[in-house]
Amino acid sequence: MTERRISRPLPRTTSDVELMEHADGELAEAEVAIRLDREPDARAKVDAVRELGELVRGHLELSADAVHDARFAAMWRRIDSEIEVPASGLWARVTGWFDRHRGHVVTGVVSAGAVAALALILRPGGPDGAGVGRGPISVQPVAMRAAPEIDALDTPGGSSTVINLDDEDGHTTVIWVSPADIVEGI
Amino acid sequence: MSQRLFATWVAAVAASLVLGAAHPARADVTTECEFFEISAKAGPKAAIDGELKPVERKLKKAPFLTWNQFKLLSHSKRPLDKKKPEAISLKVGTATATLIEIVDKSKVRLTVTMEDDKGKQVVNNTTTVEAGDYVMFVHELAGNEGHLLSLTCK
């Protein structure tokens, strides 16, 4: 709406039309305000007109909202009518529960998985003090490896020779078994 | 308890049970060992199977200079559980490997037994060896041939 502010001399007694224009903000404020101070009836009319305007505006806004609500209600009714009626029974209730709480279930599973993964990673070694994280035992760099130790060796029916080899791959223990009935040696 | 909290709680318990059930299977396996069964002999032309790459360098040095032809008979990787003898399938004879314990987080104490093709025990050995290092059992055979079993654990 184009705002018209007209500055013109008012007659001595302010007419109702002018009061309505003033109430609607279409007449200059200063001149009318002086007259309204002198005319209490006019002031009451302006107030009444403003109040009536507010009422009309509020009613129109409510009507507009009511139209939207009615449209949405109709949409929901149509959607509900097109959705299949859920099957009854325990399984339907279980799946329905999961459907309704899918977000929470996923959140719970992810959280529990993260906690379990952390627990697996950070857990201390087993009774043998097995390594953490990467594998059952840790492979030391070649330079830090201790030489193999023979704890027990039995070669029934033959003789044995133990040879330790060291190279860039680490240690190699060779256990050479020569049967007694073989003449050739190593 | 609200439905949301209950749903989250149920899901968390379910996931923990699943993960908890999977946990013991992993804990049982304490090391994995790789076995190479090799036949060795001397011939006019040196030959080493390509699959023997991990041990090729060792086979070209003493005390293996007796032979110059090495052929892979079998290759296997086996997870070993503590104190549980594991049969190692061989082309010639049989073998078992038993993890006695893990020492200092990086060493394995193993007992290995080998029998020849007649079922006669060739060797019964317990050795403590660093992960990544090798133990090689050599059984001399008639005709300047050899039957070797190489193992390494990680």
d(CA A170, CA A161): 20
Asked if A139 and B121 come within 8 Å (Cβ–Cβ), the reply is: no
Bigger pLDDT: A96 or B134? Answer: B134
Asked if B11 and A104 come within 8 Å (Cβ–Cβ), the reply is: yes
Q: Work out the burial of residue A78: count CB atoms within 10 Å of its CB; fewer than 13 is exposed, 13-18 middle, 19 or more buried.
A: exposed
Interface predicted TM-score (ipTM) = 0.82
Question: Which residues in A91-117 are b (16+ Cβ under 10 Å) and which e?
Answer: eeeeeeeeeebeebbebbbeebbeebe
Cβ partners under 8 Å of residue A91, min gap 6: none
Query: Cα-atom radius of gyration of chain B, to the nearest Å?
Result: 22
pLDDT of A14: 62
Poorest-pLDDT segment among A15-24, A150-159, B15-24, B95-104: B15-24
pLDDT of B17: 58
Cβ atoms of B22 and B72 closer than 8 Å: no
Query: Has residue A173 got a pLDDT over 60?
Result: yes
Q: Which stretch of DSSP H or E encloses residue A3?
A: none
Asked if A146 and B4 come within 8 Å (Cβ–Cβ), the reply is: no
Spell out the domain ranges in chain B: 30-153
Query: Has residue B15 got a pLDDT over 60?
Result: no
d(CA A147, CA A172): 9
pTM: 0.55
Residues of chain B with C-beta less than 8 angstroms from the C-beta of A158: 122
Q: Give just the sign of the alpha carbon dihedral A79, A82, A87, A92.
A: negative
pLDDT of B107: 92
Poorest-pLDDT segment among B21-25, B131-135, B137-141: B21-25
pLDDT tens, A51-108?
Answer: 988 899 888 888 877 777 778 888 888 888 877 666 667 888 888 888 888 888 888 8
* B102 touching chain A per CB within 8 A: yes
What is the arithmetic mean of pLDDT over A25-36?
76
Instruction: List, as one string, the DSSP characters of A87-102.
Output: PPSHHHHHHHHHHHTH
Poorest-pLDDT segment among A87-91, A177-181, B99-103: A87-91
Cβ atoms of B97 and B127 closer than 8 Å: no
Query: Phi, psi at residue A183, to the nearest 5°?
Result: -75, -45
Q: Work out the burial of residue B67: count CB atoms within 10 Å of its CB; fewer than 13 is exposed, 13-18 middle, 19 or more buried.
A: buried
Q: Within chain A, what is the greatest distance between any pair of CA atoms?
A: 147
* B2 touching chain A per CB within 8 A: no
Q: Which of A39-53, A76-90, B73-87 has the highest mean pLDDT?
A: B73-87
Query: Phi, psi at residue B13, to the nearest 5°?
Result: -65, -45
Query: pLDDT tier at A128 (50, 70, 90 boundaries)?
Result: very low
Of B3, B30, B142, the CB nearest to A130: B30
* Other Cβ atoms closer than 10 A to A181: 8
Instruction: List, as one string, the DSSP characters of A148-161.
Output: PEEEEEE-TTEEEE
What is the nearest CA distance from A129 to chain B, expressed in angstroms? 6
pLDDT of A150: 92
Q: Nearest residue of B to residue A131 by CA position?
A: B105
Candidates B10, B34, B105: best to mutate against A (most CBs of A within 10 A) is B105
* B53 touching chain A per CB within 8 A: no
* B131 touching chain A per CB within 8 A: yes
* Other Cβ atoms closer than 10 A to A8: 8
Asked if B133 and A172 come within 8 Å (Cβ–Cβ), the reply is: yes
